[in-house]
Amino acid sequence: MLKVSAFQVALLTTAATLPFLLFSLPVGVWVDRLRRRPILILADVGRGLALATIPVAYLLDVLTIWQLYAVGFVIGTLTVFFDVAYQAYLPSLITKEQLQEGNSKLEVSRSSAQVSGPGLAGVLVQLISAPYAVVLEVFGLLASALFVFRIEKEEQRVRITPVARGRRGRRMLSEIREGLAFVVRHPYMRPALVFTTTINFFSMVIFAILLVYAVRELGMTAAEAGLALSLANVGLLAGALTAGRMTRLLRGIGRTLIVSAAAMGWGLLLLPLAPSKFAIPFVAIGMGLYLFWAVVSNVVAISLYQAITPDRLLGP
């Protein structure tokens, strides 16, 4: 709608993900000092308010790509707080033995929403235009805040490690160093860091321009692109439902992580092979295969990391 280039669209993804590079480590330290539930609630409300500026600006005819960059950066920053607190919060609600089942159930709920979400979004974009379709996401984030608010189990404050004593700045640096040292020295966490960095970098290269490619090169409408992504997210749901079974089928966590890492990229080869007149199945199947193995890997890996990481280091 703003008639910007593919590069400018990709910059929007950059604006939204840059906070992960800039703020993840200090946010991890802050999260370990505070209760996680209020952070989750404030992050949801803040993201909702930031998104609400888009339809307002469009209504006033002042919406620009620069505002989207700013909104993306704010949302990305709040998402850093949410994601770090989210992963550190779950172990305070359930036992370590329940982590894989708990993460699997969270993925099921998330992927179930993602199966219907893109299709609904595509229809709304065509019916009421993209800026007004954002209003639905605003209400979704406020609903998320409400559900988190209703969690009744009391969260235990994590005891701060002795290495963190001293002036505030030095204390934060000490905790960051302790967290980094744990990851770098751990025989599982160190290779996991290399793998995650690699897969995230190349995945974002694709996803930053995927919708531009679907609309401008494959000629998809908003509804068709939404349908393709909804069908692809069936792979997301299947992965969440079968992650535990895959661990048993492949006889162990290590084998499951290796197989999922080796398998997840191949489906994406279908994206550049998609013909414009028959694009939906190629995009849906290609993305679906990627998402299936990505979710299997995420559920198993995150459960492992939460189980082997000391409580005081779950944030950093």
> Which tens digits make up the pLDDT trace of 182-198?
888 888 889 988 998 89
Higher pLDDT, 88 or 140: 140
Neighbours of 153 (CB within 10 A): 9
Inform me whether the pLDDT recorded for 161 exceeds 60: no
Q: Residue 163 has what pLDDT?
A: 46
Contacts of 203 (CB under 8 A, 6+ apart): none
Q: Which of 132-136, 180-184, 223-227, 229-233 has the lowest average pLDDT?
A: 180-184
Inform me whether the pLDDT recorded for 156 exceeds 70: no
> Which tens digits make up the pLDDT trace of 7-52?
999 899 999 999 998 998 888 888 877 888 999 999 999 999 999 9
User: CA-to-CA distance for 143 and 82, rounded, in angstroms?
Assistant: 15
Q: Residue 33 has what pLDDT?
A: 76
Does residue 156 contact residue 91 with C-beta atoms inside 8 Å?
no
User: CA-to-CA distance for 231 and 287, rounded, in angstroms?
Assistant: 9
Q: At what angle do helices 99-128 and 130-149 cross, to 10 degrees?
A: 150
Q: Residue 218 has what pLDDT?
A: 94
Average pLDDT on 106-133 reads 84
Nearest to 233 by CA among 152, 137, 113, 69: 113
Q: Given pLDDT bands bounded at 50, 70 and 90, which one contains residue 168?
A: low
User: CA-to-CA distance for 80 and 18, rounded, in angstroms?
Assistant: 10
Neighbours of 102 (CB within 10 A): 19
Q: Residue 240 has what pLDDT?
A: 83
Nearest to 227 by CA among 149, 166, 306, 282: 282
Q: Residue 90 has what pLDDT?
A: 82
DSSP H helices, 4-150, are 6-33, 36-59, 65-93, 99-128, 130-149
Place of tokens 């030095």: 170
User: CA-to-CA distance for 272 and 280, rounded, in angstroms?
Assistant: 12
Q: What are the chain's domains?
A: 6-313 (1.20.1250.20)
> Which tens digits make up the pLDDT trace of 36-95?
899 999 999 999 999 999 999 999 999 999 999 999 999 999 999 999 888 878 888 888
